[in-house]
Amino acid sequence: PPAVAPPPPQQQQQRQAGALHTATGALPSSIRGEDGFVPEYISGEHGLYSLPAVGTRGRRARPGDNRFVLRSTPGCLFLTNYRMMFHAYGEAKAADGGGRSAVGSGGDDGNGVRTLSRLPKGDWEIPLSMIFRVQTLGGDARSGSGSNTLLFGQSTNGHGRQLQVDTKNGQVKRFGVAGELAEALSVFLNALSAAAFWPGVDAADSASGAAAASMENEASAAFAFTHFTALKQANLHRSEHEQKFNRFSIVAEYERLGLTRDPNLRMISQADIPICSTYPGHLMIPSGMTNNEICRVAKYRSKERIPAVIFRHEKTGATLSRCAQPLVGLQNNRCVEDEKLVALLRRASRQTNRIYIADARAQIATQGNRLMGKGTELKRHYESMELIFLNIGNIHAVRESWQGVMGLMDPLSLEGGRGDTTWLGKLDAHGWLDHVHRILKGANRLVEILHVEGCSVMVHCSDGWDRTPQLCGLAQLLVDPYYRTAEGFRALVEKEFLEFGHMFAKRHLHASPKYGDEDNSPIFVLWLDCVWQVVRQFPDAFDFNEMFLLALADQCYSTRFGTFLCNSSRERAAHFLRERTASVWWYLDALGDAVLNPNGYAAFDDILVPDVSPKNLRLWEAYLQVGLTLIL
């Protein structure tokens, strides 16, 4: 259809017909707002629908006042195959007047990425895969009941509807739609649901033989594939980019760390010894372990996630290993091969009189796991072993904490006399910063063991793919200055989260419309928050800046890149994501100086010991500012 600008608001009898426009068979410019606004698209993106709406945002009653009022702003909602946007009419469009965009989700520049900037005042956008829940409410948004009030005092004919969008990064957005546009709203919602909650690919599909059909569904629906195809066609993503950013080698990282040169260790290939489907293809284990012994250890560890060496301290020779909990159970089961492996790890270190096992959980939590046939190591079976508990919350505790924060993002929670102090007090009660504190404290303890005591340490939680990479990744960041460079940080994320099986698809609800799914939890964002706390305390020790971390926090949800799709490296390889999608690391590299330390990088070999006392921890304002621009 030709480009059509909707008629003025007063022509209500014509507005229904012009409320929705489809770009099928037409240029994206056929989707425009009443003021002529046309969204800027990234490679592979195209417009689907537009819908007149009224947006809301909070603001201070007056400068310096702790009271907040809610402001209604007329505008237009836009839906594309990648994101949902709201463009506000009649606002002062100062470049720094609005909230932070989901980084890089706007139009391309000459390199296929967008320069980082703030959105115009009153505007908002979110990638579709970051939408957590969409619902419609009738009547007054303050009460959620059906009434004749459209949204925050906007009068209607009694049939107005409210569209509420909850996002995975904590935003709660409400939009009012006039009653005469009910049919248009219904079409918009159906299109939004179809675009945001696509089928996806998971391990069950692969195991059941339905992988081909499922992969075809994902290829036709996940934006990462469309985006990559468009980048290639425009010659914005070339083969040298794929070689540099889509070809991480964990073997090369083992070599850099000196693990392959250590006579006490040997590398095994899962092509020769299939052990664990959620582990990388190559593993470092004690050289004194036979293949048969390793297979028996796998049967004794949850999900077959055996102890594998991931790091060696250059000065002390102490090693850091990771695994899953043992299958001890109420019968106090033991495995002599597992005990032998731990003893060999202890003897491989220069300090041979002790080895630590750091259980990320609280001790009482391990007792509950014993009822399910699991648990933690029994000290009497492991020679010279010291068992410590780090008391870090599980995915359910983190999810509940984050959902509490999400509730506080609702502008209604700040309306009237509620002020900064009250709101931040409620935020503290939800315990998000307590999770940050416990992870940082645990990482400091691991550094003390490796660097000061010179002892080896083995880390696990329950299955070893959530709290374990948080602790191991942070400890290595504090010890090894290489991981504080942009290149090294990429290697750290690839190794600890991607290669060793952090379940990004499940934790971020990629392709799932389920609300309250027991598998979802912002584990990776919580870890990035911990990293940001360290960067804030030691800014000159890092090659990258806060925007680098913000970009990762956004893009791990966006599905614009293939890096964070699926739940393991094996799944990503099975669906050829390296060949069919662009890498988030290419994107960050293209952003250049915008994500690098503006003061320069002072490379030094000292370990970092952040102050983890609660008074020295801060709310990650720049990340939460996406949803709460009014008080931060």
* Ranges of H-type helices in 131-222: 182-196, 203-208, 211-221
What is the Cα–Cα distance from 365 to 358, expressed in whole angstroms? 14
Contacts of 341 (CB under 8 A, 6+ apart): 285, 286, 289, 293, 294, 297, 306, 307
What is the Cα–Cα distance from 123 to 97, expressed in whole angstroms? 10
Contacts of 227 (CB under 8 A, 6+ apart): 42, 43, 44, 45, 82, 560, 561, 581, 582
Q: Annotation-wise, does 464 bind a ligand?
A: yes
Q: Annotation-wise, does 461 bind a ligand?
A: yes
- The angle subtended at Cα 218 by Cα 215 and Cα 221, nearest 5°, is 150
Q: Annotation-wise, does 543 bind a ligand?
A: no
Q: Which residue has the tokens 């992969």?
A: 215
- Name the pairing type of β-strands 47-60 and 456-460: unpaired
472 as an active site residue: the answer is no
Q: Annotation-wise, does 467 bind a ligand?
A: yes
Q: Which residue in the list 276, 323, 455, 461 is annotated as catalytic? A: 461
Q: Annotation-wise, does 395 bind a ligand?
A: yes
What is the Cα–Cα distance from 483 to 527, expressed in whole angstroms? 15
What is the Cα–Cα distance from 500 to 524, expressed in whole angstroms? 13
CB 360 within 8 A of CB 468: yes
What is the Cα–Cα distance from 86 to 49, expressed in whole angstroms? 12
Considering only the C-alpha atoms of the chain, give the largest distance between any 2 of them, rounded to a whole number of Å. Answer: 84
Contacts of 272 (CB under 8 A, 6+ apart): none
Q: Annotation-wise, does 463 bind a ligand?
A: yes
Q: Annotation-wise, does 66 bind a ligand?
A: no
Question: What DSSP designation does 544 have?
Answer: B
Q: Annotation-wise, does 585 bind a ligand?
A: no
Mark the binding-site residues, compressed into ranges.
394-395, 461-467
Just list the catalytic residues: 461
Known binding-site residues for substrate equal: 394-395, 461-467
